[in-house]
Amino acid sequence: MMCLMNRRQLIASTALLAGAWASPLTAAPQRRARSKEEPFGYCFNTSTVRGQKLTLDEQVELTAKAGYDAIEPWVRDIQAFADKGGDLDKLRGRIEELGITVESAIGFANWIVDDDQKRAEGLKTARRDMKLVKAIGGTRIAAPPVGATNQEDLDLFKAAERYRDLLELGKEEQITPQLELWGFSKSISRLGELMFVAVESGHPDACMLLDIYHIYKGGSDFQGLELINSKKVHVFHVNDYPADPPRETISDADRVHMGDGVAPTSMILQTIYKNGFRGMLSLELFNRTYWEQDALQVASTGLAKMRASVRKAMGTEGTR
Q: For residue 142, what pLDDT is reported? A: 98
SS3 of the chain? CHHHHHHHHHHHHHHHHHCCCCCHHHCCCCCCCCCCCCCCEEEEEHHHHHHHCCCHHHHHHHHHHHCCCEEECEHHHHHHHHHCCCCHHHHHHHHHHHCCEECCCECCCCCCCCCHHHHHHHHHHHHHHHHHHHHCCCCEEEECCCCCCCCCCCCHHHHHHHHHHHHHHHHHHCCEEEEECCCCCCCCCCHHHHHHHHHHCCCCCCCEEEEHHHHHHHCCCHHHHHHCCHHHCCEEEECECCCCCCCCCCCHHHCECCCCCCCCHHHHHHHHHHCCCCCEEEECCCCHHHHCCCHHHHHHHHHHHHHHHHHHHCCCCCCC
Mean pLDDT score, 88-98: 98
- Whether the predicted pLDDT of 222 surpasses 90: yes
pLDDT-derived band at 30, boundaries 50, 70, 90: low
Q: Does the pLDDT at position 318 exceed 60?
A: no
**248-268: pLDDT as tens digits:** 999 999 999 999 999 999 999
Average pLDDT, the chain: 91
| pLDDT score for 103 | 98
Please report, rounded to a whole number, the percentage of residues in the chain having pLDDT higher than 70: 88
- pLDDT above 50 (res 13): no
Reported confidence tier of residue 29, pLDDT bands at 50, 70, 90: very low
> What confidence tier does 2 reach under pLDDT thresholds 50, 70, 90?
very low
pLDDT at 34: 84
pLDDT at 164: 98
Q: Does residue 25 surpass a pLDDT of 70? A: no
Reported confidence tier of residue 33, pLDDT bands at 50, 70, 90 = confident
Q: What is the pLDDT of residue 12?
A: 37
Provide the pLDDT for residue 161.
Answer: 98
Q: Does residue 109 have a pLDDT over 90?
A: yes
pLDDT (tens digit per residue) in 291-306: 999 999 999 999 999 9
Q: What is the mean pLDDT of residues 25-38?
A: 66
> What average pLDDT score do residues 125-130 get?
98
